[in-house]
Amino acid sequence: MATLPTLPVPDSDLLRLDHQVCFSLHAASRAFGSVYRDALKELGLTYPQYLVMLVLWEHGPEPVKSIGERLRLDSGTLSPLLKRLEAAGLVHRERSPEDERSVTIRLTEAGEALRERALPVPRRIMAATGLTVDELRTLRSLLGRVTGALDEA
């Protein structure tokens, strides 16, 4: 199955492969975004906002810092996004008493309630991918390794 190390891949093929991988990634990410956009429209959430809500639904109140670490987003992205979630009445922010620099994000009742309506979303997306569970696992694993390696560099 594996390419024999003694059969070198031509240089030009490598360049094409790189372009194709990067481009596929870009395209796939946007294709997912588009399907999620449709699925989340009735909830009034964008895809990144949904990711933040997932973190809060799963882990409970969290400081901005750790939401950012989980989602690989910095305050420049999260601050305005959280402001919009707050304006929508889904979360509410409070300065941490023990560290005044830190702001804890907490779900409101409306934010908790939205969880029910969000439950059917992932299944719809899964079905739309057309991949088997095993393939999705392979994909997740490859993507995880790529991201890890790229973050090193």
Q: Which residues bind a second copy (CB under 8 A)?
A: 1-3, 9, 14-15, 17-32, 34-36, 47, 51, 54, 71-72, 119, 122-123, 125-126, 128-140, 142-153
At how many degrees (to 10) do helices 47-59 and 64-71 cross?
A: 120
Window of 2-10, 81-89, 111-119, 136-144 that interacts with DNA by CB under 7 A? 81-89
Q: 57-76 mask for DNA (x: CB under 7 A)?
A: ------xxx--x---xxxxx
Give me 92's structure tokens. 């509410």
Kindly state whether residue 48 participates in binding DNA, applying the rule CB under 7 A. Answer: yes
Q: How far is the CB of 145 from a second copy (least distance, A)?
A: 6
Q: What is the DSSP string of 85-105?
A: HHHTTSEEEEE-SS-TT-EEE
Q: Please give the distance of CA 44 from its chain centroid, rounded to a whole number.
A: 17
Q: How far is CA 147 from CA 49, 141, 143, 151, in A?
A: 21, 10, 6, 6
Residues in 84-123 at the binding interface with DNA, rule: CB under 7 A: 84, 93, 98-103
Contact at 8 Å (CB) between 102 and 67? no
Residues making contact with DNA (CB under 7 A): 26, 30, 33-34, 37, 46, 48-49, 63-65, 68, 72-84, 93, 98-103
